[in-house]
Amino acid sequence: MKAAFYTLGCKVNQYETEAMTELFRKSGYEIVDFDDYSDVYVINSCTVTGRSDMKTRQAIRKARKLNIDSIIAVVGCYAQIAPEEVLEIPEVNLVIGSKGKGQIVELIDRLKKLKINKLNAVHDILKDKNYEELEISTQIEHTRAYLKIQDGCNQFCTYCIIPYARGTVRSRKLNNIIDEVKRLSHMGYKEVVLTGIHVASYGQDLGDVGLLDVIKRVHEVKGIERIRMSSIEPTFLTEDFIKEVSQLRKFCRHYHVSLQSGCDQTLKRMGRRYTTENYREIIERIRKNIVDVAITTDVIVGFPGETNQEFEETYIFLKDIAFSKIHVFKFSKRRGTKAYNYPNQISNAVKTSRSKRVIELSEQCEIDFYKRFIGRKMDVLFEQNVKGMDGFIEGYTDNYIRVAVPGDIRFKNCIIPTTLKEIKKDMVIGEIVEGK
Ligand code: SF4
């Protein structure tokens, strides 16, 4: 039997696809490409924007064309938010939401055994209080492993569908996290990225443990050389937390601190729990304690009621903070969230032009950040050949500078001191320090 996977959305989804892949493999399935003929197609969906839902539907149609007799399972956030809508799609046989991915193989067996065409296995996620344990021992990316440490979010920002799709905070047991890190280290991974829906909330439901404990315990695992954090809410970054992690050699000097808007009125309407002034202080705190730190962020443009004046405030704030990269998202209204019914929705044309300006600013910010390191010697963890640049291999510094050097795949998964020479588009061309 063959199984194929298609993943949309965030790193948590990617992690969960890996875990499901391992379950299928252990049950004797051969894993094939999503473009190939398969007996089972699993689509791990996302619902963060309307576009994500559309991509899921496209993947469903594609799977059916590849094998009209296959079983098509749609799992994840879109299935969780709209199980009936997804199951009504004629091609779909099984829906599983955010919980129950660990039972996917059994559910498919049940479908086959009972010879039924449709099965809804979606649970009420807001009632769920326990973390669903899923495990991985390997990942598609071969040098950096994404490690899921928690699920859910209790913040209920007014634009965000995630708490309804993922439920409230459930944290993974610390011992299970460490066992997985040891397995990953044993497989040769040198870098782990602590991933979750709201990593800062880690431990809230467990009581006696927090994110700092996770970081410290992962830091002790032999073979792991780098620990990165996927994204963090600004309010969590206390002086104590920053000081403690700045002492940990393996903790990467890279913070992705979600901003979402640089205008206080917009932040308030978004239901974010900080002001621009708080945010600025937090960034200063990080920069004071961590030399050469890279600070990246997310921003949403075109939130309902965002006037030109409000957008300009955001733009100026972004420029002022001097991020090393800005990820921009156009507001997408999601049914079930408060902002869905907010007045003064912004036209797509305005969102597009604001987004374009932020993308241009981000490109400039990245260049300005890279410039500071030209001529410096930095450790680079090499990952893969550079697409479209024969004879070059690329990797990242701990503060997330993308570096390419002449070399081949033998450098892969090695951390090598490299001199940063010149900026080329979105990367820096470097030279391996002689004798290394
Ligand atoms: S913090 Fe806000 S934006 Fe982030 S997942 Fe939670 S509700 Fe969504």
CB under 8 Å to 103, separation ≥6 — which residues? 96, 121
Tell me the domain boundaries of the chain. 2-123, 144-370, 377-432
Q: Which atom of ligand 1 is nearest to the CA of 271?
A: 2
Distance 324 CA to ligand 1 centre (A): 22
Q: Which atom of ligand 1 is nearest to the CA of 156?
A: 7
Residue at 148: amino acid letter? K
Q: Which atom of ligand 1 is nearest to the CA of 166?
A: 5
Q: Which CATH class is domain 377-432?
A: mainly beta
Residues linked to residue 377 through DSSP beta bridges, in sequence order: 419
Q: What own/partner pairs with CB < 8 Å and gap ≥ 24 does 128-132 have?
A: 128/99, 128/167, 128/170, 129/168, 129/170, 129/205, 130/170, 131/170, 131/171, 131/172, 131/173, 132/99, 132/100, 132/101, 132/102, 132/170
CB under 8 Å to 57, separation ≥6 — which residues? 89
> Which H or E run contains 129?
none
Distance 198 CA to ligand 1 centre (A): 7
- Residues lining ligand 1, Cβ inside 6 A: 153, 155-157, 160, 162-163, 197-198, 233
Domain 2-123: CATH architecture, name and number where available: 3-Layer(aba) Sandwich (3.40)
**Closest of 345, 163, 170, 323 to residue 258, by C-alpha:** 323
Structure tokens at 307: 């006037």
Q: How far is Cα 63 from Cα 18, in angstroms, rounded to an integer? A: 19
DSSP state of 400: -
Q: How far is Cα 435 from Cα 295, in angstroms, rounded to an integer? A: 32
- Residue for token pair 């296995």: 121
User: In whole angstroms, what separates CA 352 from the centre of its chain?
Assistant: 23
CB under 8 Å to 72, separation ≥6 — which residues? 40, 41, 43, 60, 63, 64, 91, 92, 93, 94
Strands across the sheet with 226-229, in order? Answer: 144-148, 191-195, 226-229
Distance 101 CA to ligand 1 centre (A): 22
> Which H or E run contains 362?
helix 348-371
Q: Which atom of ligand 1 is nearest to the CA of 161?
A: 8
Q: Which residue CA neighbors atom 1 of ligand 1 most closely? A: 155
Q: Which atom of ligand 1 is nearest to the CA of 197?
A: 5
93: three-class secondary structure by DSSP? coil
Q: Which residue CA neighbors atom 8 of ligand 1 most closely? A: 160
Which residue from 160, 231, 235, 261 has its CB within 8 A of the most atoms of ligand 1, so it is best to mutate?
Answer: 160
Q: What are phi and psi of 67, to 5 degrees?
A: -155, 110
CB under 8 Å to 388, separation ≥6 — which residues? none
Distance 83 CA to ligand 1 centre (A): 22
Q: Does domain 144-370 have CATH number 3.80.30.20?
A: yes
**Closest of 75, 108, 87, 95 to residue 2, by C-alpha:** 108
Distance 153 CA to ligand 1 centre (A): 6
State the DSSP string of 248-288: -TTB-SEEEB--B-S-HHHHHHHT-S--HHHHHHHHHHHHH
DSSP state of 232: B
**Closest of 177, 241, 239, 184 to residue 206, by C-alpha:** 177
Sign of the alpha-carbon torsion through 307, 310, 339, 86: positive
Distance 391 CA to ligand 1 centre (A): 42
DSSP state of 77: H
Q: Is the fold of 2-123 the same as that of 377-432? A: no
411: three-class secondary structure by DSSP? helix
Distance 148 CA to ligand 1 centre (A): 17
Q: Which residue CA neighbors atom 4 of ligand 1 most closely? A: 198
**Closest of 187, 198, 181, 183 to residue 250, by C-alpha:** 181
The distance between the two most distant Cα atoms of the chain, rounded to a whole number of Å, is 66
Instruction: Let me know: does 399 contact 424? Beta carbons within 8 Å.
Output: no
Q: Which atom of ligand 1 is nearest to the CA of 272?
A: 2
Distance 102 CA to ligand 1 centre (A): 25
pLDDT of res. 409: 86
pLDDT by residue for the chain (436 residues), tens digit each?
A: 999 999 999 989 999 999 999 999 999 999 999 999 999 999 999 998 888 999 999 999 999 999 999 999 999 999 999 999 999 999 999 999 999 999 999 999 999 999 999 999 999 998 888 999 888 877 666 688 999 999 999 999 999 999 999 999 999 999 999 999 999 999 999 999 999 999 999 999 998 899 999 999 999 999 999 999 989 999 999 999 999 999 999 999 999 999 999 999 999 999 999 999 999 999 999 999 999 999 999 999 999 999 999 999 999 999 999 999 999 999 999 999 999 999 999 999 999 999 999 999 999 999 999 999 999 999 999 999 999 999 999 999 999 999 999 998 889 999 999 999 999 989 999 999 976 5
**Closest of 266, 215, 278 to residue 241, by C-alpha:** 215
